[in-house]
Amino acid sequence: MRDMKITRSAAPKSVTALTALFLAATLAGCSAAANVGDTVAGAVHAATSQESAANSATPAEIAEAVAELASIPVKGKAPKTGYSREQFGAAWSDVDHNGCDTRNDILRRDLTNITVKPGTKNCIVASGKLADEYTGKTINFTRGADSSAVQIDHIVALSSAWQTGAQQISADQRLQLANDPLNLIAADGPANQQKSDSSADAWLPANKAFRCEYVARQTAVKTKYKLWMTQPEHDAIAGILAACN
């Protein structure tokens, strides 16, 4: 699973893949009752529980995600009061001090066949090709009028993070969260706009082959930054992980 072994925080290693998958299945079974009356969450959960998810993650990574899920607190969303993008620092800060902003760092990581803008110390990506994880499409990226065809998505949206615990962490931790490669992915612009600030109970990638990694990275981010989940979000992720094989 790309970058997870390097950037995810430590998780309990004593959970075996078999035990973890059994736990996920148990949690998924509880989700039906919890989601009654929640049309969007119910539809997402039903879709994920009725079909076997193609898995881009290893059994060990799924076991780790299930173990993390079990440790993440479950409670309701906090009010959105006080939220702004600036609560997470200046957009695309150079937090690793490599001389490049985070957006270009992620473009260089996720795109292939890249060219860079001359005179930018190989920093600013001018063009490249994205094998988009959200849609399964191949997207040609060219900086300029059509730059928005490829956007950098926060896998755990900042607004959602704000309502699930980020208000309670430090400004520096929020800056790190907004620029953490674990929480960032180059993605199809329209798919990113469709997702907006949705959590896993309301939006999943159309590319089913990426769903296991997608929710596993969400659990890793939530664990790393001590965020919580809502019950529908937790149940949707448990159902997806149970279907990973």
Q: Is 124 exposed, middle or buried (0-12, 13-18, 19+ CB in 10 A)?
A: middle
Q: CA distances (Å), 18 to each of 50, 64, 66, 67, 195, in order?
A: 20, 11, 11, 12, 32
pLDDT for position 56: 72
pLDDT for position 57: 82
Q: Are 235 and 38 in contact (CB under 8 A)?
A: no
pLDDT for position 55: 61
User: What pTM did the predictor assign?
Assistant: 0.79
47-91: pLDDT as tens digits: 333 344 456 788 999 999 999 999 999 999 999 999 999 999 999
Q: 109, 122, 135, 235: which is closest to 191 by C-alpha?
A: 135
4-19: pLDDT as tens digits: 543 443 333 333 333 3
Distance CA 49, CA 242 (A): 8
Q: Which two tokens stand for residue 219?
A: 């659990």
172-196: pLDDT as tens digits: 999 999 999 999 999 999 999 999 9
- Whether the pLDDT of residue 2 is over 50: the answer is no
Q: What is the mean pLDDT of residues 217-229?
A: 98
Q: What is the mean pLDDT of residues 140-163?
A: 96
Distance CA 160, CA 149 (A): 23
**Which run of H or E residues covers position 115?**
strand 112-116
pLDDT for position 110: 98
